[in-house]
Amino acid sequence: MFNLFKSNPTKKLRKQLAKLQADAMFASRNGDIRKSSEISAEADKIWQEIQRIEGETKS
């Protein structure tokens, strides 16, 4: 019952992930493959963190 007011711990990370994925796409479209891969690597780290947090909350 009290979980109703508890904030989602991954909400902020998912927002960051979506922004990074969009930035990587735009960098790729502009021909900057190096920047695109750097941004994608950062997005992958955030995705792994989301998966870790969600795994802890389900256990």
Q: Give me the domain span that covers residue 38.
A: 8-58
| Residue 52 burial (C-beta neighbours within 10 Å; 0-12, 13-18, 19+) | exposed
Q: Which residues contact 45 (CB under 8 A, 6 or more apart)?
A: none
Q: Does residue 2 form part of some domain?
A: no
Domain total of the chain: 1
Residue 56, pLDDT score: 84
Judge if pTM exceeds 0.85: no
Element (H, E) at 1: none
In this prediction, residue 1 carries a pLDDT of 52
Six-digit token string for 30: 């502009």
Q: pLDDT tens across 7-39, in order? A: 788 999 999 999 999 999 999 999 999 999 999
Contact yes or no for 39/20 (Cβ under 8 A): yes
* pLDDT (tens digit per residue) in 36-51: 999 999 999 999 999 9
